[in-house]
Amino acid sequence: MRHIAFAATALCLGLPAAAQDAPSCPLPADRYDMSAEQIEAMYDCMSAYMIEGYQSQGNEIATAYRDWTQASTRPAVAGVHGERFLNTFVNDVAAEQYLKYAEGDFEMPVGSVLAKEMIGVTDDGAARRAPLLIMTKVADAPETDGWRYSGVQPTGQALNVSQSFCHDCHQNFDASDSMGYPLEEVRVSQ
Ligand code: HEC
């Protein structure tokens, strides 16, 4: 209700509604047992608000990634990344190889960028924006198997990430060049 009161106040003062007003996107009681339709409805409700936040400080990847290839059919909870709903996009350099969801002896081409949106859930069961997480394949990061980890906060500011924190987990996916891939049920079929 709170944001409605804010919007009403802004209207009374003749101000444009604050750009950062959160939409009200309530979730069902068991948010980890949502149908595909319920998850899609939540995403539709959050989508414009998320992109507005990520892009608000002009971050280059945040501005570009929604035009890339979506690598999952919808957001899904994978049980890592803080039990958030995850939705991955990959750039043109990465798309062909990423969408094979391959395991084996391969490496992603330098210049690949993978961006993963996250939607969190508050204790009272409302959806909220979480950071956009990014992996970029570079030529000069042997200690992280060529991946540079970064992120963008919902406020648009760069997220402070520890390369070793991210890679300590991602290196477990050593059969897939350190990539975790979306859950099988939401992979894009070729
Ligand atoms: C505890 C393990 C763990 C940690 C820590 C972790 N990740 Fe992940 N990450 C995963 C898993 C598992 C997936 C695949 C899940 C999915 O997309 O459904 C994934 C997926 C991703 C993807 C999508 C590309 C892909 O398929 O791998 C990006 C981008 C990403 N993580 C970035 C990061 C960044 C940046 C950090 C550090 C801030 C980080 N991750 C920390 C486990 C982890």
pTM given for the model? 0.89
- Does residue 2 fall inside a structural domain? no
- Does residue 80 fall inside a structural domain? yes
Q: Is the CB of 78 under 6 A from ligand 1?
A: yes
Q: Is the CB of 94 under 6 A from ligand 1?
A: no
Three-state DSSP at 186 gives helix
- Out of 170, 172, 177, 184, give the residue to mutate to test ligand 1, the one with the largest number of ligand atoms within 8 Å of its CB: 170
Each residue of 54-81: pLDDT tens digit?
A: 999 999 999 999 999 999 999 998 765 6
- Does residue 4 fall inside a structural domain? no
Q: Which two tokens stand for residue 106?
A: 């391969």
- Does residue 44 fall inside a structural domain? yes
Residue with token string 């750039």: 91
How many A from CA of 180 to the centre of ligand 1? 6
Q: Is the CB of 154 under 6 A from ligand 1?
A: no
Q: Which two tokens stand for residue 10?
A: 């802004």
Q: Is the CB of 54 under 6 A from ligand 1?
A: no
Identify the domain containing residue 92 by its residue range.
19-186
Per the structure, the count of domains in the chain is 1
Q: Which residue has the higher pLDDT, 184 or 32?
A: 184
Each residue of 119-158: pLDDT tens digit?
A: 998 877 889 999 999 999 999 999 999 999 999 999 999 9
- Does residue 5 fall inside a structural domain? no
Q: Which two tokens stand for residue 114?
A: 């993978």
Q: Is the CB of 161 under 6 A from ligand 1?
A: yes
Q: Which two tokens stand for residue 155?
A: 């406020």
Beta strands in the chain (DSSP E): 69-70, 76-77, 85-90, 113-121, 127-137, 147-152
Q: What is the mean pLDDT of residues 153-170?
A: 97
Each residue of 78-91: pLDDT tens digit?
A: 765 667 899 999 99
Residue 30: pLDDT over 90: no
- Does residue 162 fall inside a structural domain? yes
pLDDT grade for 32, boundaries at 50, 70 and 90: confident
- Does residue 11 fall inside a structural domain? no
Average pLDDT of the chain is 87
pLDDT at 28: 83
The ligand 1 atom at the shortest distance from the C-alpha of residue 149 is: 35
Please, are residues 94 and 108 in contact by the beta-carbon 8 Å criterion?
yes
- Does residue 129 fall inside a structural domain? yes
d(CA 25, CA 41): 9
Q: What is the mean pLDDT of residues 151-173?
A: 97
Alpha helices in the chain (DSSP H): 2-12, 36-55, 60-64, 92-98, 163-170
Picking from 145, 42, 52, the residue whose alpha carbon sits closest to that of residue 87 is 42
pLDDT at 81: 65
pLDDT grade for 11, boundaries at 50, 70 and 90: very low
